[in-house]
Chains A and B, each alone.
Chain A
Amino acid sequence: MKPAPSIVLFSTASGAGYGLLFWLGLLRPLGLVPAHPWLGLVALGFALALVTAGLVASTFHLGRPERAWRALSQWRSSWLSREGVAAVATYVPAGLFGLSLLAGWPVLAALSGLLAAALAMATVFCTGMIYASLKPVREWRHPLVLPGYLLFALFTGAALLAALAAFWRAGAAPAALAVLAGAAGLALKLAYWRAIDSAPPVATAESATGLGAIGRVRPLEPPHTQSNYLLREMAFRVARRHAARLRRIALGAGFAAPVLLLLLALLAGGGAAMALTALAAALALAGLLVERWLMFAEATHTVALYYEGNPG
């Protein structure tokens, strides 16, 4: 599948933003991050900026962005529509949360923060389901795809909150959570890659043409000599050659290095923690961009069977 930059940017930035909103809304009432209103407001601003930047980027993927509002209508059947509804709905408690921080209403701040946290995760869940429900793409149908979306949002969100809370000398709880989520993410990614590398295809050139009764099926003449939308969009294979190296980069920069830096920050504390957590959050986001890109580049669609036959 073609890794459209707008979608890669969307799922990384919005995922991190929703993760940050989730941890902020959840940890603040629990007293695990300082209740200082300025930390709340700065973190909320960061979260909404990331979410909004991601959502705006995602509209660049549309053929008719001016009609994007129509995508809110089919929540009964479409995960993309549900994602849109959840994304828009999250702004309401998030805005209320900001307002109560400014006005100094602690109870409303806690309640709206918790509601924003729930809706933020619901949005990421819908994003994951868009991919996890596509039967023709076996790499996306895998049961680890949805947990991956949730876990990576939790990881980058916690790392960002740790970096921000470090300025108030109180980033320990989110940093510890980020270490846990990052380690879990690393394990999940390794398990996922092992699984998709050995999983059988969802369909074959024989079942795609129904000619298997005659024997092995291979393409002879293509229907057109030049490219088309299907080949560009769904038979993308530029980076498979570099997949192994890119996987190492995603694991190293996206998960292993940030987890180590966060552990160091937990040990060091103080001013060093500020620099270390900020670096960890930046690395996690950059590494996740590579991971998201690979998520598309490594995905295969059954339409390629018609053009290329069985892989390998």
Chain B
Amino acid sequence: VTCLPDRQPGAKALGLVIDLDTCVGCQACATNCKEWNTSGHSAPLPDFNPYSAGAEGVWFNRVHAYEAGEGAKGRTVHFPRSCLHCETPACVTVCPTGASYKRAEDGIVLVDHDMCIGCGLCAWACPYGARELDEDAGVMKKCTLCIDRIYNETIPEAQRQPACVLACPTRARHFGDLGDPESDVSRLVRERGGYGLMPELGYEPVNRYLPPRKPAEVAAARPAEPAPRAEEIANPLLRWMDRALSR
């Protein structure tokens, strides 16, 4: 059913925390997402004209880049955009068939592809552009938070994370329970002032974004390295060079 589950205080709310300070826009998360999900729960993710002009297809994760601010204060920010697994997702309540649902046990928003009629109303209802119609199968597809990885007991425990999180070379993506205030991700959000997108629309997204650090913060955060004393240098060649050059 498309009515939302009753909200229990402290209920699990699985989601992503994305660090816009360290994201380098390499597209690895988007690519690994496509790779995993084209054979997972939502498989296949179609591609049209894959080897010619007009190549396009369904992706659950799209990495934009923005300029923010002017002059010396201006920043280039890479910005991955995917489903935010909202607490009040209108994409679920507008669904006429019951194909869209929000799981009570972990808050993940999913589509039952056997029930979806492909009306597209959920995509209209999502302000974030998280849903893309599979125009081959005629049904709506979206990020599953890699439901087929995070609970998958056939893969090593360290790999039970969304594909995008595992692929990130700068560890800009974190996965965890944002409903638990003491989880690593919740603590990270508190420390870094993480925020949700378009709060004025009232969808209450679960995913959080960590803002780019301010230039002053970056300078302050850089540890000052004291020069090692001569007796601390283990390598005899370097110790001799240090002594020779210090004269």
Contact = CB atoms under 8 A, between A and B. Distances in A.
A77 B2 contact: yes
Nearest to A58: B119
Contacts of B75: 211, 214
Interface stretch (B54-62, B169-177, B238-246): B54-62
Interface residues of B, number: 73
A31 interface: no
Contacts of A133: 90, 94
Interface stretch (B160-168, B179-187, B193-201): B193-201
B1 interface: yes
A70 interface: yes
Given A63-B133, A214-B68, A207 B202 contact: no
A198 interface: no
A133 B94 CA distance: 9
A309 to B, nearest CB: 8
A222 interface: yes
Contacts of B4: 77
A306 B81 contact: yes
Interface in B66-114: 66-70, 73-77, 79, 81, 90, 92-99
B139 A63 contact: yes
Interface stretch (B5-13, B122-130, B150-158): B122-130
Interface residues of A, number: 59
A99 B127 CA distance: 47
Contacts of A205: 66
Nearest to A228: B56
Contacts of A63: 116-120, 133-135, 137-140
A239 interface: no
A15 to B, nearest CB: 18
Contact of A74 (B1, B63, B199): B1
A264 interface: no
B43 interface: no
A64 B123 contact: no
A229 B66 contact: no
B96 A80 contact: yes
Given A78-B96, A215-B69, A64 B116 contact: yes
Interface of B: 1-4, 20, 25, 30, 53-59, 62-70, 73-77, 79, 81, 90, 92-99, 115-121, 123-129, 132-135, 137-140, 195-203, 209, 211-212
Interface of A: 1, 61-65, 67-68, 70-74, 76-81, 84, 130, 133-137, 202-203, 205, 207-224, 226-230, 233-234, 301-303, 306-307
16 contacts: A62-B117, A74-B95, A78-B94, A81-B97, A133-B90, A134-B124, A209-B68, A209-B79, A210-B195, A214-B68, A220-B66, A223-B63, A224-B56, A226-B55, A226-B56, A228-B56
